[in-house]
Structures are given as C-alpha cells and as structure tokens.
Amino acid sequence: MKNNILKEILSSQGKCLIIPHQSPDGDCLGSSFTLSHCLDRHGIEHHIIMDDLIPSNYLFLKKDNMIKSDQVSGTYDYGIILDTSSKDRAGTTDEVLSRCSHLLVIDHHKTNAYFGDTNIVKMVSSVGELLFGLYEEIDYKIDTNDAIGLYTSIVTDTGEFRYSNTTSETLKVAARIFETGFDFEKISQEIFSNQELKKVILKSNALSGIELHGQNKMALLKVTQTMLGELECEMYHSDGIVEAGRDISGIEVSVLLKEISDKEIKVSMRSKSYLDVSEISLLFGGGGHIRAAGCTLNMNLQEAEQTIIKEIESRL
C-alpha cells in the first residue's frame, strides 16, 4: 500500500478539523459527511467547519459536530480541506487554518494550487470518488452512512452520471456504494425532489430573462439582488440555473452572473463539449474544471456582462 495519510491520521489519533469550501455544494458536503463518519468510527476527535448555510436539500448531511470558525478554539493536528482548489476558497479564515499543524488538501480541481502541506489531487469525478479510493487503500469498509455521503458527492458532481467526468471507475465506485444497501431512493429524493418553491420560481425568472450571444452558442443568465429580494431568496438558491442554460439545444456555454453587490459579480460557467471554462476563469483569478468553473469580477453587472461576453465570444 502507498503512503496513505488517511491511515496516518487514523492511527495517530490526532485532533482533526474538516474544512469544506465556501458556498457548500453536494460534493463538499457529502465528502465532509463521510469523512467525519469515518473519523467517528475510529474514535478521532474532530469538528467540521460550517460557516455558510447548508442548502435545504442537503440538510440530511448536517452533523452535530459542525461548528463555525469563530467557535474554534485551541489547535488541531490536521486540517483536512475538501473540494477546494485554492486557499481563498476554503470555508474558513486564515486564522483557523493557522491553528492546524498539518494541512491536508483532498481535491479534484484541474486548477488546484497545491496549497496544503500534503495535497491529494486527482482528476476524478468528485472528492467522494477520491475518498473512496483512499478508503479502499486502507481497507476501510464503508457502511450505509458513508454511502449516503459518497453517493451525494458523486451523484451531484457528475450531474447524475451525465457529465464527461463520469468514468467506468466512477460507476464501479457507485456500484460498491450501492452494495451497502443504503436507501438511495430516499437520498435521491432529498437531493433532487425537495426544492423550495421560491428556488424553483427564481430559476424560472432567471430563465425567462435569458440572452443568447456568440452566434447563439452562449446563454447568459442573471440573478440580481432585486430578483432575490422579491422572492426572499439567498444567492445559494441560484444553484442549478447555469446548468439549465447549458441544457438548451445548440448552447456550448452557459454563464450565470450573480450580483453580490454593485461592485462584485460572481460568475458561474458551464460548457457542453469543447470550451475549457477553467481557462477563462483563471484569466480573472478564479478556477475550476474544464466544464464547470467560476470567478469573481469586481465591477457592476453591466460591466461584468460586457467583459464576459467579449472574452467568450472570441473563443466560440
């Protein structure tokens, strides 16, 4: 067996902090859940940092050991950062990170900055798939709770096994997860058939404002503060909108501009078959994967719109 840091953590009985990324999604929440469960089963003292609200369709992954950054006290032997490509995306403060003697990054982003003391970065579908590989190396036998976290992680990051990051290995891992006998129908319903009505209406409003650019190969969608205010939504309710733009026939790239303020626009990009959106994100200090990436533009919505349209149109 290779030198597996997870084995070292489990045998050292050191104190751990699990750190997902900001604006948590199914992959980082699912992988935090299974890793925490694995540490529980080995009697390892640990917490999960959760500063942001958990989207309601992932509340089944909430654990009692979740704390906020300002509740952290003392030091930790290991800080385990999941699904996070760069330090500024970690869901905690630099102060909390500095309390961890050893930072372990477990990630699958093409643009990972290798900012940990140890970095396990593999281009697999999801951190769930990567963790499953680490579990296998140390002969850790997953149970139904591990399966719930791993399944959530993999099914969400692969778009229900539709995206190009789904490989035969991903499906083999999924089969092994199913063999635990976990209630996958219940979990699928929690994730996909449990959306708040206002979230669905926000998506509908955003889609009715769609614009096409770049010879109709680019879909441009917006969620403004006004749109959120009307529905009493938070920005995390905009989850799923950018993918709906990509699902349109003839669209190669879908861009969602999320108005955080009149000086800050969060950009989410999804491509269908050839455009590398991680390259575009990197130009603006962001990152991600070939088919899913993002960045932040410090300008107003109109300027952001022009900037992104210009950059993408030249590549289509």
Interaction site with ligand 5GP (CB under 6 A) = 85-86, 89, 109, 111, 268, 286-289, 292-296
* Contacts (CB under 5 A) with Mn ion, residues 257-286: none
Shortest distance, position 23 Cβ to ligand 5GP, whole Å? 7
* Axis-axis angle for helices 127-137, 168-178 (nearest 10): 70
The entry of Mn ion, ligand 5GP, none that residue 27 binds, CB within 5 to 8 Å by partner kind: Mn ion
Query: In the stretch 10-29, what mask flags binding to Mn ion with x, by CB under 5 A?
Result: -----------------x--
Cα dihedral sign for 216, 219, 224, 230? positive
Nearer to Mn ion, 27 or 146 (CB): 27
The entry of Mn ion, ligand 5GP, none that residue 57 binds, CB within 5 to 8 Å by partner kind: none
The CB-nearest residue to ligand 5GP is 294
Shortest distance, position 156 Cβ to ligand 5GP, whole Å? 10
Cα dihedral sign for 294, 300, 305, 306? negative
The entry of Mn ion, ligand 5GP, none that residue 288 binds, CB within 5 to 8 Å by partner kind: ligand 5GP
Number of residues that bind Mn ion (CB under 5 A): 3
The entry of ligand 5GP, Mn ion, none that residue 85 binds, CB within 5 to 8 Å by partner kind: ligand 5GP
Buried b / exposed e along 268-300 (16+ C-beta atoms within 10 A): bbbbbeebbbbbbbbebebbbbbbbbbbbbeee
Nearer to ligand 5GP, 128 or 294 (CB): 294
Shortest distance, position 282 Cβ to ligand 5GP, whole Å? 8
157 binds Mn ion (CB under 5 A): yes
Residues with Cβ within 8 Å of residue 67, at least 6 apart in sequence: 47, 48, 49, 50
Shortest distance, position 232 Cβ to Mn ion, whole Å? 29
The entry of ligand 5GP, Mn ion, none that residue 89 binds, CB within 5 to 8 Å by partner kind: ligand 5GP
The entry of ligand 5GP, Mn ion, none that residue 301 binds, CB within 5 to 8 Å by partner kind: none
Residue 227's closest CA among 253, 247, 246, 209?
A: 209
- Phi, psi angle pair for 183, to nearest 5°: -80, 85
The entry of Mn ion, ligand 5GP, none that residue 293 binds, CB within 5 to 8 Å by partner kind: ligand 5GP
Residues with Cβ within 8 Å of residue 235, at least 6 apart in sequence: 23, 223, 228, 258, 260, 266
300-305: which pairs have CB atoms within 8 A and are 24 or more residues apart?
300/262, 300/263, 300/265, 301/222, 301/224, 301/257, 301/259, 301/262, 301/265, 304/257, 304/265, 304/267, 305/220, 305/222, 305/257
83 binds Mn ion (CB under 5 A): yes
